[in-house]
């Protein structure tokens, strides 16, 4: 048994139009928790992240706090790149569903992901 699960997603070759769509990022943060059986504690927020003249060409950063932890999405439209995290204290997260969800929503051509079991020594005794 472990405390929770953390899925990190790096998506490549995505649609510039979709990655630059604030409303689509907000839609994902609104609907994904329910689809995963999780519960929003507050409404999601999405911010415009400006170009920092280094490796970050700017995009959208969004976050939703859920009872089970959080979901975040960062888009980089000019690079066709998305970075997302789904972290939950639940066990048995459906990773394939989540990966396909992001792939379809943003037309990602390739995905790297990491799955981390969090709190492997956590005890609720």
Q: What is the distance between the alpha carbons of residues 62 and 50, in angstroms, rounded to a whole number? A: 13
Letter string b/e over residues 59-83, b meaning 16 or more CB atoms within 10 A of that residue's CB? bbbbbbbbebbbbbbbbbbebbbbb
* Catalytic (active site) residue 74: yes
Q: Which residue in the list 15, 72, 83, 89 is annotated as catalytic?
A: 89
Q: Which residue in the list 61, 69, 72, 83 is annotated as catalytic?
A: 69
Q: Which residue in the list 28, 74, 83, 123 is annotated as catalytic?
A: 74
Catalytic annotation, residues: 69, 74, 89
């Amino acid at each position: 048994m472990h405390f929770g699960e953390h899925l990190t997603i790096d998506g490549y070759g995505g649609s510039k139009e979709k990655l630059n769509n604030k409303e689509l990022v907000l839609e994902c943060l609104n609907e994904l928790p329910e689809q995963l059986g999780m519960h929003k504690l507050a409404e999601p927020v999405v911010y415009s992240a400006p170009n920092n003249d280094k490796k970050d060409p700017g995009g959208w950063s969004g976050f939703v706090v859920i009872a089970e932890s959080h979901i975040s999405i960062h888009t980089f439209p000019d690079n066709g790149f998305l970075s997302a995290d789904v972290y939950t204290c639940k066990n048995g997260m459906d990773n394939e569903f989540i990966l396909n969800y992001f792939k379809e929503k943003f037309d990602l051509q390739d995905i790297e992901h990491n799955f981390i079991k969090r709190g492997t020594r956590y005890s609720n005794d």
